[in-house]
Amino acid sequence: MEFQVCERQWYTRAFAQDAVDKILRHKPEFLQGDNFLNYIYEEIANDTNERETLSFVQFTDLHLDLDYTTGASTTCDTVMCCRPENGFPEDPSIQAGEFGSVAFCDVPPSVLYKMGDKVNELAPDVLFWTGDVPPHDLWEYSYDHVKRYVGFLSEYMHANLNQWSIFPMEGNHDYGAMNSQDFSTPHPDPMITFQLEQWSDWLDEDAQKEYAVHGYYSQPLKTSDGTVFPKVRVVAVNTEACYNMNFYLMKLRDDPGDQLQWLEETLYKMEANGEIGILIGHVPPADASCLNQWATRYTALMDRFQHIIRLQFFGHVHMEMHNTIRGFNTNKPIGINFWAGAMTTYTFAYPSFRRFIVDKETMLPLKVETWKFDPEAENPEFFYDHEMTEYYGMTDLSPASFDALADRFLDDEDLSLVYLRTKSQNGKKKVESCDEDCRLEVYCQTRNGVYNDKLLCQNQDIHSWVHDPINTLMETTSDPWYASHKYPHFTQ
């Protein structure tokens, strides 16, 4: 297939490396060592006074199923079960439970209500919601279907969680045409308009105006007691601009929705104002499903502004994971992406949410806790399961400590198994062993902020029609980018 744009001479290739060079051309001298966050962690460690902290709860990937029916079969031959059409078996071991089923099923509202109870008990300073509300009944997707689910959650949050400061961001399932947002239209996607109506309590006027255009925003951090932090900004990116199943991206080959340009401008303004930031999104940029052209430029911005963004977290993969971001020039670890586990049991995972204990002065995470739910327990409640530094024996959550952890994964099968099993909160698909290749994959995945770098780290081909046909197809049909008129011009 030949793209028409190739024949037009006024389009030129926009190479990611050129964009990276342009972004990093103005990197200040004091950041050249790529050690900024490590240095602040050292300062915190050397401080003999007790640090003031804030607590941030993040929940993600609820994938609520309003057709979930207790007693329906947990096994079926479609992509999701636990609905009346799957039948009502006599065998109790395959009957859907009242509080969800660790199977090919999404979750009933009872799991959301249990989460709400626990969140209210934990009384967070900030509550973050990072997208994916509807179930995996992909054939049902329409504007009304998705609206029903997003509306259900918003209504619940307004009635039960509105006493907390809330920062939302949508996921790829929160669109009428599943996964698909067309950034090229002059009118916003109808779901963006709908979300905005739901979120008007939570976003300030500037953020609402920004969000209305293409579904991304930034606004100063506000805590549940009403305190606004004028020097701390929440930056919420819309990862539909990189998600490889958003088919509109095949025709948007130059910064979809002008988001990278907006992000760069926002970070420059924050730098000029002496602000620091917390960045949230749905698809982790290091995941295979985030297109390389976008992920590379995003990571270059995180390199250039490594002193500004103090915490980054995402959802989408339904697995608890993490990765470091590396400096382009030094290959040193400069930041961390945290990937939260999902609220849904889909697939074969235990529901969970995250609580970050954050240093109030620097906004760096000091503890990252996982709160878990066992649908099969008697009178189940969300309970504290583990905290990262204790769980993995880390000195702190600095990028350097995550590199040390990656080194240990390489040599320690038991530790690698802990990581692999924790992905699903020790769900029902058990990983029994992790040989040398498996440990190399854990090492490479946790060390790299761009998926292609993970593959290169594993000595694998970037594109493989044999081993990874879907991602290869999506990458090759959405790549290269063409510098028609836009990004990056801001730093030129």
CB of 490 to Zn ion, least distance (A): 29
- Of the candidate spans 119-127, 308-316, 433-441, 475-483, the one that interacts with Zn ion by CB under 5 A turns out to be 308-316
Judged by DSSP in three states, 80 sits in: coil
CB of 344 to Zn ion, least distance (A): 7
Does position 195 interact with Zn ion (CB under 5 A)? The reply is no
Does position 244 interact with Zn ion (CB under 5 A)? The reply is no
Which residues fall within 8 angstroms of residue 158, CB to CB, at 6 or more apart? 201
Which residues fall within 8 angstroms of residue 143, CB to CB, at 6 or more apart? 176, 190, 191
Provide, for the chain, the percentages of residues in helix, strand and coil under a 3-state DSSP scheme, each rounded to the nearest 5.
Answer: 35, 15, 45
Does position 136 interact with Zn ion (CB under 5 A)? The reply is no
Length of the chain: 492
CB of 32 to Zn ion, least distance (A): 36
CB of 277 to Zn ion, least distance (A): 23
CB of 229 to Zn ion, least distance (A): 29
Closer CB to Zn ion, residue 27 or residue 282? 282
Q: How many residues bind Zn ion (CB under 5 A)?
A: 5
Does position 320 interact with Zn ion (CB under 5 A)? The reply is no
Closer CB to Zn ion, residue 104 or residue 487? 104
Does position 254 interact with Zn ion (CB under 5 A)? The reply is no
CB of 128 to Zn ion, least distance (A): 15
**Rounded-to-integer distance, Cα 63 and Cα 142, Å:** 15
The residue within the footprint of Zn ion, chosen from 132, 275, 385, 396 (CB under 5 A), is 132
Closer CB to Zn ion, residue 172 or residue 416? 172
DSSP 196-216: HHHHTTTS-HHHHHHHHHHS-
Does position 374 interact with Zn ion (CB under 5 A)? The reply is no
CB of 342 to Zn ion, least distance (A): 6
Closer CB to Zn ion, residue 55 or residue 345? 345
Cβ atoms of residues 340 and 313 within 8 Å = yes
CA-based angle 140:192:339, to the nearest 5?
80
Cβ atoms of residues 285 and 297 within 8 Å = no
**Rounded-to-integer distance, Cα 453 and Cα 444, Å:** 8
- Of the candidate spans 13-21, 56-64, 108-116, 162-170, the one that interacts with Zn ion by CB under 5 A turns out to be 56-64
Tell whether omega for the bond before 480 is within 30 degrees of 0, i.e. cis.
Answer: yes
The residue within the footprint of Zn ion, chosen from 124, 135, 171, 351 (CB under 5 A), is 171
Closer CB to Zn ion, residue 78 or residue 329? 78
Does position 289 interact with Zn ion (CB under 5 A)? The reply is no
Tokens of 5: 């744009």
- For the beta sheet containing 276-280, the strands, ordered from the edge strand earlier in sequence to the opposite edge, are 217-222, 228-236, 276-280, 309-314, 333-339, 321-326
Closer CB to Zn ion, residue 254 or residue 287? 287
The residue within the footprint of Zn ion, chosen from 172, 181, 292, 422 (CB under 5 A), is 172
- Of the candidate spans 35-43, 132-140, 416-424, 469-477, the one that interacts with Zn ion by CB under 5 A turns out to be 132-140
1 to 40, contacts with Zn ion by CB under 5 A? none
The residue within the footprint of Zn ion, chosen from 34, 56, 57, 61 (CB under 5 A), is 61
The residue within the footprint of Zn ion, chosen from 316, 354, 439, 454 (CB under 5 A), is 316
For residue 313, what are the β-bridge partners? 280, 338
Identify each DSSP E strand in 72-226 by its residue range. Answer: 126-129, 166-168, 217-222
Closer CB to Zn ion, residue 35 or residue 101? 101
Does position 257 interact with Zn ion (CB under 5 A)? The reply is no
For residue 280, what are the β-bridge partners? 236, 313
Tokens of 103: 């199977």
Please count the other Cβ atoms lying within 10 Å of the Cβ belonging to residue 381. 14
Does position 448 interact with Zn ion (CB under 5 A)? The reply is no
Closer CB to Zn ion, residue 165 or residue 238? 238
Closer CB to Zn ion, residue 194 or residue 243? 243
Long-range pairs for 374-380: beta carbons < 8 A, 24 or more residues apart: 374/350, 375/97, 375/99, 375/100, 375/101, 375/102, 375/111, 375/345, 375/350, 375/351, 376/97, 376/102, 380/99, 380/114
Please count the other Cβ atoms lying within 10 Å of the Cβ belonging to residue 265. 13
Q: Chain centroid to CA 36: how far?
A: 23
CB of 283 to Zn ion, least distance (A): 6
Site string for Zn ion, 90-129 (x = CB under 5 A): ----------------------------------------
Site string for Zn ion, 450-489 (x = CB under 5 A): ----------------------------------------
Cβ atoms of residues 392 and 418 within 8 Å = yes
Closest CA to 485 of 9, 81, 106, 11: 11
Interacting residues toward Zn ion by CB under 5 A: 61, 132, 171-172, 316
